């Protein structure tokens, strides 16, 4: 039987978002839903993302290319809200092609001409800014994401469409370098060389040209024609520039808000599926109220193989946080949750944070905008389960304690858990 969100009476546009700080397993869910989608569209972030798909032929990690690319009939769109390193995109296409994934530019892979471009100078600036921050560093992926979005806002950015317009490209790179070199040189950052930058971007542009299009228009027309559009979030709601744990966030609207501005689709009814891990993880710096330390953290990291798919960094691990999940679910307009990695919790004690004790001694169930590093979570404890659940495919087949844990998550978050993932494989799913 099809899961409820794949049944034909559903709204045509679905958005999948990570609920906390990313790495919730969106890739697998998108891959699953892409079976029924005409388009899969990325709306934000860049190659800071790492979406892992486990296919019958093995594991594939995608950074920029949307997760529908492994489905033959699906068109994949990198929307205008994404920041694109064109050199990385070309390398990613090569890597996927070597793995047998069929990519036809302009056919099953399209990139918005309005998407902004990441160049080497952005990476240099990313590292330089992090060094300057010292102890308060964000722990970015170092891929130039923040500086590229910064230049977009400062109105000196380059757009993908510039790459296929030689005259515009020369003028745009010259203006960009003029602005940046004015402070790069005094700051000790490498000077941007206009000629080599133009040459590099022109070469990438020539290769990507068939894919560089007005994708907003394409998507608007597709929607009016009743085609199914699946919008793929990157990172997670708590990394959202405005609603996340600022300043320890990424530089785009990773929550559902970005789904319209980052694709060119007009606001319309959207089904929102939130992806939450059965516990919590975070990569990079910043507050994480339910974080474990010591042996418990190490055990969970090993059990869940919690190492970043884009950068390989060990992820920080902790308990399920219903305060954070409820907040993100409300901001993102989540209709239902997919709970991932339930199998990983085998043999662990189960606890759910249900409130935060504030420094003044009071308790809140609301997500504070400040001083999150000073709250103390209040937990409910639940009995654990020792059974291997990776082969379970039915709700009734889960151990009673695992079911009670999922029900407690629903109770404390106020969100329905309709789908549970019990392993990385496509088939390791329980639909209730």
Q: Name the residues that contact ligand IMP, by CB under 6 A.
A: 21-23, 48-50, 138-141, 143, 145-146, 234-235, 239, 250-251, 283-284, 310
**Nearest by Cα to 220 from 190, 265, 168, 185:** 265
Q: Which phi and psi (to 5°) does residue 159 adopt?
A: -115, 155
Catalytic residue among 31, 38, 47, 51: 51
Among the residues of 288-432, which ranges form H helices? 294-303, 322-332, 400-413
Active-site residue 295, yes or no?
no
Cα–Cα distance list, 180 to 143, 146, 159, 188, 206 (Å): 18, 15, 16, 12, 25
Give the containing element (helix H, strand E) for 42.
strand 39-42
Between 141 and 263, CB nearer to ligand IMP: 141
Smallest gap from residue 125 Cβ to ligand IMP (A): 11
Q: Shortest distance, CB of residue 118 to ligand IMP, whole angstroms? A: 11
Q: Which two tokens stand for residue 10?
A: 């559903």
CA distance 79 to 212: 10
Rounded to whole angstroms, the Cα distance separating 143 from 48 reads: 6
User: Looking at residue 388, what DSSP letter applies?
Assistant: -
Question: Rounded to whole angstroms, how far apart are CA atoms 241 and 224?
Answer: 31
Query: CB under 8 Å to 86, separation ≥6 — which residues?
Result: 117, 160, 163, 201, 204, 205, 208
How far apart CA 148 and CA 380 sit, in angstroms, is: 42
Give the residue at shortest CB distance from ligand IMP: 284
Provide, rounded to whole angstroms, the least separation between the CB of residue 45 and ligand IMP. Answer: 6
φ, ψ for residue 114, nearest 5 deg: -90, -10
**Given 23, 126, 151, 240, which residue is catalytic?**
23
Q: Which is nearer to ligand IMP, 197 or 251 (CB)?
A: 251
Active site residue 23: yes
* Pick 186 or 312: Cβ nearer ligand IMP: 312
Give residue for tokens 């606890």: 351
Nearer to ligand IMP, 83 or 350 (CB): 83
Shortest CB 248 distance to ligand IMP, Å: 6
Closer to ligand IMP by Cβ: residue 140 or 263:
140
Beta carbon of residue 140, minimum distance to ligand IMP (angstroms, whole number): 4
Q: Using the minimum distance from each CB to ligand IMP, give the nearer residue, 51 or 351.
A: 51
- Least spacing, CB of residue 403 vs ligand IMP, in Å: 29
Q: What are phi and psi of 328, to 5 degrees?
A: -65, -40
Which backbone phi and psi does 364 adopt, to 5 degrees? -135, 155
Rg of the chain (C-alpha set) = 22
As annotated, the active-site residues are: 23, 51
């Amino acid at each position: 039987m099809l899961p409820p969100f794949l049944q034909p009476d559903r709204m045509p546009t679905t958005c999948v978002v990570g609920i906390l700080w990313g790495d919730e397993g969106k890739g697998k869910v998108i891959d699953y839903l892409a079976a029924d989608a005409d388009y899969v569209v990325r709306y934000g972030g860049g190659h800071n993302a790492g979406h892992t798909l486990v296919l019958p032929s093995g594991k594939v990690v995608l950074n920029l290319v949307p997760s529908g690319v492994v489905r033959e009939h699906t068109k994949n769109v990198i929307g205008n809200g994404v920041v694109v390193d064109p050199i990385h995109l070309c390398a990613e296409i090569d890597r996927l092609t070597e793995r047998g994934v069929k990519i036809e530019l302009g056919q099953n892979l399209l990139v918005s001409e309005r998407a902004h471009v990441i160049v080497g100078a952005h990476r240099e600036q990313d590292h330089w800014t992090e060094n300057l921050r010292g102890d308060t560093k964000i722990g970015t992926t170092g891929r130039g994401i923040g500086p590229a979005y910064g230049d977009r806002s400062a109105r000196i950015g380059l757009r993908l469409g510039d790459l296929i317009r030689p005259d515009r490209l020369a003028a745009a790179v010259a203006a960009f370098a003029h602005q940046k070199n004015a402070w790069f040189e005094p700051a000790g950052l490498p000077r941007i060389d206009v000629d080599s930058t133009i040459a590099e971007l022109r070469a990438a542009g020539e290769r990507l040209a068939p894919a560089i299009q007005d994708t907003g228009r394409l998507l608007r027309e597709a929607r009016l024609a009743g085609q199914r559009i699946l919008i793929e979030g990157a990172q997670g709601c708590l990394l959202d520039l405005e609603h996340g744990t600022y300043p320890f966030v990424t530089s785009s609207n990773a929550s559902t808000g970005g789904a319209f501005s980052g694709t060119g689709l007009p606001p319309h009814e959207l089904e929102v599926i939130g992806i939450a891990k059965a516990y919590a993880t975070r990569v990079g710096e910043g507050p994480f109220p339910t974080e474990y330390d010591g042996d418990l953290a190490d055990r969970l990291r090993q059990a869940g193989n919690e190492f970043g798919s884009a950068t390989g960094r060990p992820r920080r691990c902790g308990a399920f946080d219903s305060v954070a999940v409820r907040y993100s679910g409300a901001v993102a307009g989540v209709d239902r949750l997919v709970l991932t990695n339930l199998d990983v919790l085998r043999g662990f004690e189960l606890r759910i944070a249900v409130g935060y004790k504030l420094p003044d001694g009071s308790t809140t169930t609301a997500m504070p905008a400040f001083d999150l590093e000073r709250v103390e979570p209040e937990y409910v404890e639940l009995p654990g389960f020792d059974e291997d659940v990776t082969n379970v495919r039915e709700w009734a087949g889960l151990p009673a304690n695992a079911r009670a844990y999922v029900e407690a998550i629903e109770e404390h978050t106020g969100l329905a858990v309709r789908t549970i993932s019990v392993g990385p494989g496509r088939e390791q799913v329980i639909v209730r």
